[in-house]
Homo-oligomer: A and B are copies of this chain.
Amino acid sequence: MSIATALDAIALLLGERLSRSKSELTAHGRSESYFPLTPPDAVAYPESTEEVQALVAICAEHGCPVTGWGAGTSLEGHGLAVRGGVVVDFTRMNKVLEIRPTDMDVTVQPGVTREALNEELRATGLFFPVDPGANASLGGMAMTRASGTTTVRYGTMRDNVLGLQVVLADGRVIRTGTRARKSAAGYDLTALMVGSEGTLGLVTELTLRLYGVPEATSAGICAFPDMGSAVTAVMEVIQMGIPMARIEFVDDATARAFTAYSGMEMAEAPHLLVEFHGSPESVAQDAERFGEIVADHGASPFRWSAREEERRALWALRHNGYYAILAARKGSRAVVTDMCVPISQLARAVEETQADIAASGIPGPILGHVGDGNFHAVLLVDPEQPAELETAKRLSHRMAERALALGGTCTGEHGVGQGKMGFMEAEHGAGWDVMGEIKRALDPQGLMNPGKLVRQG
């Protein structure tokens, strides 16, 4: 029983599609974040469920760890093979298998990225709405329970994965869910797998919900005197049932960075960016009513448009947010945090985090998804000064503790990976033990993405 024996057997299976080249190992040992380089022993590029099944069966026989890899855009080091073994890169499993326009669903392989899927859907009038920012793979998005700017209207991956094909740790292949829109037939294995970060199996097929491209879209922006009034206004809009498709906020530091990066003039104040989907009449009405409500909360005049070029300019701001913020400090690297609280606690959480960042001496503009109570501080550290990375980690740590103290979660959308392991016990208590019991039942050897999510024995 050894990794080496397993890799020899996998090489017989995959030929040149099992790589041990230094450049491949390095590329799959890096993450988008601050985790140290962790090259695996080999990288496999399967092309079918059968190959994944055979590979996992070999790994089970020889005790070789298996870690899935999508587009490598995770921010918490999910794909790093911390116990070595083989990284399974799904790049070659990138086919859209079947689009069913009448049922508004699609079956894809895990390596399809969300942008590639939406490109394929262009002619159908349908789209897949979950948008975490990065052009992540759909397999990776399912495994980290990704969400993003459109979650307030369309939900997270939890809400949009109808079914999965999964290769389990012992090489069995299961199908979870059906193509029916709902079911009451037993444990929700789909939901158990979504967010499991590859620790229970490897996803080889996903069936996803699609939505009609809205006939019309309107979008707009306004500034607020403070976070509290912005959040209160959004809560009122939600209670009124005005259906926002996106409702994003940026703080004053982010507004400053946007102005510097784009040249578009923004007041140095908290802002809301909002989008509505519907008919031409409804998106105009929604925007008007939104404008009236925010005005009651001291906002600047709400500027909105249903014209595509103006909407694009607005969202280009938000989508380039990460780069705009990075440019605010030349030569810096970013540590991106992720906390999520009940909406009533959001203003407090942001303000306490801002004070914490201000006292730390490093910049950390904040932006987030106000409809979900989820936000990120983009902490800018000088890579030449290791002490700053430590400061950023401390700030991130305190944000997670703050989230738990306010009734929220240590990660709204980035996942546990390596970065949030330290908060699982505090967040879940005995529930974390239960996760470990499920893990051991389905992966008794602990070979699927070992070192992640559950308590390590």
Contacts and interface: CB of A to CB of B under 8 A. Distances in A.
Interface string A334-376: 0000101111100000000000000000000000000111100
Given A175-B429, A434-B174, A184 B144 contact: yes
Interface string A260-303: 00000000000000000111011001000100000000000000
Contacts of A181: 340, 342-343, 371-374
B277 A281 contact: no
Interface string A230-247: 000001001111110000
A20 interface: no
A428 B176 CA distance: 7
Interface in A142-201: 144-147, 151, 155-156, 158-159, 168, 172-176, 178-189, 191-192, 194-196, 200
Contacts of A330: none
A385 interface: no
Interface in A188-240: 188-189, 191-192, 194-196, 200, 211-212, 214-215, 235, 238-240
A435 interface: yes
Contacts of A342: 100, 103, 105, 179-181
Interface centre among A189, A414, A429 (most CB of B within 10 A): A189
A65 interface: no
A185 B411 contact: yes
A212 B240 contact: yes
Contacts of A441: 437-438, 440-441
Contacts of A179: 341-342, 407-408
Interface stretch (A43-51, A308-316, A320-328, A415-423): A415-423
A116 interface: no
29 contacts: A100-B344, A125-B239, A126-B239, A144-B184, A147-B184, A158-B182, A158-B188, A173-B430, A174-B430, A174-B431, A175-B431, A178-B407, A179-B407, A181-B371, A181-B374, A183-B408, A184-B409, A184-B416, A186-B195, A186-B416, A186-B427, A188-B192, A188-B195, A189-B431, A192-B192, A212-B241, A242-B279, A434-B442, A438-B442
A155 B155 CA distance: 11
A34 interface: no
A126 B415 CA distance: 31
A136 to B, nearest CB: 13
Contact of A176 (B372, B431, B440): B431
A453 interface: yes
Given A238-B212, A278-B241, A182 B100 contact: no
Contacts of A428: 174-176, 185-186, 189
Ranked 6 nearest A-B pairs via Cβ: A191-B191, A441-B441, A183-B409, A180-B408, A102-B344, A180-B340
Interface of A: 100, 102-105, 125-126, 144-147, 151, 155-156, 158-159, 168, 172-176, 178-189, 191-192, 194-196, 200, 211-212, 214-215, 235, 238-243, 277-279, 281-282, 285, 289, 338, 340-344, 371-374, 403, 407-416, 420, 423-424, 427-435, 437-438, 440-442, 453-454
Contacts of A243: 243
A27 B60 CA distance: 51
A316 to B, nearest CB: 24
Given A103-B343, A181-B342, A183-B408, 12 more contacts: A145-B183, A156-B182, A175-B428, A180-B409, A181-B343, A181-B374, A182-B409, A183-B409, A185-B427, A212-B238, A214-B241, A241-B279
Contacts of A191: 158, 188, 191-192
Contact of A186 (B279, B408, B424): B424
A282 B242 CA distance: 10
A145 B423 contact: no
B411 A183 contact: yes
A173 B428 CA distance: 11
Contact of A146 (B158, B184, B238, B430): B184
Contacts of A183: 145, 340, 408-409, 411-412
Contacts of A454: 186
A151 B415 CA distance: 28
